[in-house]
């Protein structure tokens, strides 16, 4: 038996792993949809509020600042990708409609 060795507790080995923000498809789509309809200061305010709320939820789970920052940045990227996809879909639909217009 080693002297001075402390017993490992559950808190020492347990780590909460949050579902990645970049995988929260419904939240990503909702944010992209909202951001399409608002612009300027309102869009900035909405975006900051959403990102801060997501960061706060991760902090509450015990995630560190670096992990939170990484998660929020990945989420932001996914929202941008979703917005580009939605825009491309609209262009394709418009092009199809123009081709078949009398």
Q: Tell me the average confidence (pLDDT) per consecutive run of 10 residues in the chain, 102 residues long.
A: 55 62 93 95 97 95 92 96 94 79 65
Q: Which residue has the tokens 């498809």?
A: 25
CA separation for the pair 69, 72 (Å, rounded) = 5
Structure tokens, 1 = 């038996």
Q: How far is CA 90 from the centre of its chain?
A: 23
- Map out the domains of the chain as residue ranges: 35-94
pTM over 0.85: no
| Confidence at residue 96, expressed as pLDDT on a 0 to 100 scale | 75
| Confidence at residue 19, expressed as pLDDT on a 0 to 100 scale | 79
| Confidence at residue 17, expressed as pLDDT on a 0 to 100 scale | 59
| Confidence at residue 82, expressed as pLDDT on a 0 to 100 scale | 96
| Confidence at residue 18, expressed as pLDDT on a 0 to 100 scale | 64
| Confidence at residue 51, expressed as pLDDT on a 0 to 100 scale | 97
| Confidence at residue 94, expressed as pLDDT on a 0 to 100 scale | 83
Q: How far is CA 81 from the centre of its chain?
A: 11
């Amino acid at each position: 038996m080693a002297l001075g060795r402390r017993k490992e507790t559950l808190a020492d080995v347990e780590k909460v792993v949050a579902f990645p923000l970049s995988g929260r498809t419904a939240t990503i789509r909702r944010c992209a949809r909202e951001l399409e309809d608002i612009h300027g200061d309102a869009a900035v305010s909405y975006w900051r509020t959403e990102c801060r709320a997501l960061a706060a939820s991760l902090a509450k789970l015990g995630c560190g600042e670096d992990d939170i920052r990484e998660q929020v940045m990945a989420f932001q990227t996914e929202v941008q990708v979703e917005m580009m996809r939605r825009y491309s879909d609209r262009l394709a639909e418009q092009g199809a409609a123009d081709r078949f217009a009398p």
